Copies of this chain bind each other. A is one copy, B any other.
């Protein structure tokens, strides 16, 4: 039987790659950005929105769905695609990151990790085999191996974690049997080039269907992240997709694509939309600001999304200020459209060998979000990881 998966590399431009990853639920045009549907729903959106927005891939969170409504229930309802009525490609993470950042009283051992649910405190255990069972029950097109996500700045910790993560990767590979599901490995190693090299080579030898770069955007600087990508991308197999997990800031996506990354996911566009932060070519604007009270313009002048075709900033500000649920949806539609449009432009620029021009043009205009705030967010994520208990 031929595999339903195929990675077609159409063109490179420098290290950037224009490609298509074909799955049982359709092709993913790469470089691709996946909006996050944590609980089997991209918050405030529905499948027809995702189609209209041109989303080829969405991510769902294994940790959350395992706890609620449960992977077995979803399997009995026909799997994730049927359950959520989204018939395009789906990727699930392994839940590892959530166990280390969201769950309570986590205890890590060689065999797996025990934790308490952040919802009701109930006790659970993830092992590589258990996570494969859960992801195969959920039934996404792409599943991720269980890994440990350590503080990226601690060398000693990363050495120990990496060895365990590699043993877990082997066990996941052995336990994974669904031929209609691609299993991706996750390269770890913090900000340390030698560890990343080791990890890329080890996982490359296991012949995964794709390779994620994990453990970034969790406490390191942007420069450290980009340098790590410079090391890692060339070290993983060139004939498989490369996936940078948890990254969604436009400037980071552009820089990562230039270094050879093919896939991204992030809650950024959906989460900030619910906080009235809308993405524009000039950077984020916050629609709660008084300056928009009587602004008749759309969020973004040339934008073709439903929100911009239909509503003024003044109206959207009114909805946000009044706490109307629709505001969250209208903001989300725009922000996801903004990222999808960025990905379309990136793919066109790789085809035309104009990615450097796109980068220069984009960054000249795009005002980066407050770096202090972002640094603080990353520091908090890192502290979460530092709290982890190892037996």
> Interface residues, chain A, CB within 8 Å of chain B?
39-41, 43-48, 68-69, 73, 76-78, 83-85, 293-294, 296, 306, 310-312, 314-315, 318-319, 321-322, 324-326, 328-330
Q: Are B325 and A328 in contact (CB under 8 A)?
A: yes
Q: Are A39 and B329 in contact (CB under 8 A)?
A: no
Q: Are A294 and B326 in contact (CB under 8 A)?
A: no
Known: A39-B318, A73-B294. 4 other contacts (CB 8 A): A43-B325, A68-B321, A77-B312, A85-B310
Q: Are A326 and B41 in contact (CB under 8 A)?
A: yes
5 shortest interchain CB distances as A-B pairs = A69-B318, A85-B310, A39-B322, A41-B326, A44-B325
| Integer count of this chain's copies in the complex | 2
Q: Which residues of B contact A329 (CB under 8 A)?
A: 44, 46, 325, 329
Q: Are A84 and B314 in contact (CB under 8 A)?
A: no
For A49, the closest partner residue in chain B by CB is B326
Q: Which residues of B contact A312 (CB under 8 A)?
A: 77, 83
> A57 to nearest B CB, angstroms?
19
Q: Are B69 and A293 in contact (CB under 8 A)?
A: yes
Q: Please, how many angstroms separate the alpha-carbon atoms of A69 and B318 in the complex?
A: 6
Q: Please, how many angstroms separate the alpha-carbon atoms of A76 and B77 in the complex?
A: 51
Q: Please, how many angstroms separate the alpha-carbon atoms of A133 and B41 in the complex?
A: 44
Q: Which residues of B contact A294 (CB under 8 A)?
A: 73, 76-77
> A366 to nearest B CB, angstroms?
28
For A309, the closest partner residue in chain B by CB is B85
Q: Which residues of B contact A39 (CB under 8 A)?
A: 318-319, 322, 324
Q: Are A326 and B40 in contact (CB under 8 A)?
A: no
Q: Which residues of B contact A41 (CB under 8 A)?
A: 319, 324, 326
Interchain residue pairs with CB less than 8 A apart (19): A39-B318, A39-B319, A40-B315, A41-B319, A41-B326, A46-B326, A47-B310, A68-B321, A69-B314, A69-B318, A73-B293, A73-B294, A73-B314, A76-B294, A77-B314, A77-B315, A83-B314, A85-B315, A325-B328
Q: Are A326 and B45 in contact (CB under 8 A)?
A: yes
Candidate in A84, A294, A314, A325 with the most chain B CB atoms within 10 angstroms: A325
Q: Which residues of B contact A48 (CB under 8 A)?
A: 306
Q: Which residues of B contact A85 (CB under 8 A)?
A: 310-311, 315
Q: Please, how many angstroms separate the alpha-carbon atoms of A3 and B41 in the complex?
A: 49
> A372 to nearest B CB, angstroms?
30
Candidate in A44, A73, A326 with the most chain B CB atoms within 10 angstroms: A326
Q: Please, how many angstroms separate the alpha-carbon atoms of A296 and B77 in the complex?
A: 7
For A68, the closest partner residue in chain B by CB is B322
Q: Please, how many angstroms separate the alpha-carbon atoms of A46 and B306 in the complex?
A: 10
Q: Which residues of B contact A330 (CB under 8 A)?
A: 46
> A122 to nearest B CB, angstroms?
15
Q: Please, how many angstroms separate the alpha-carbon atoms of A39 and B324 in the complex?
A: 8
For A326, the closest partner residue in chain B by CB is B41
> A49 to nearest B CB, angstroms?
10
Q: Are B321 and A44 in contact (CB under 8 A)?
A: no
Q: Which residues of B contact A315 (CB under 8 A)?
A: 40, 77, 83-85
Q: Which residues of B contact A44 (CB under 8 A)?
A: 325-326, 329
Q: Which residues of B contact A310 (CB under 8 A)?
A: 46-47, 85
> A39 to nearest B CB, angstroms?
5
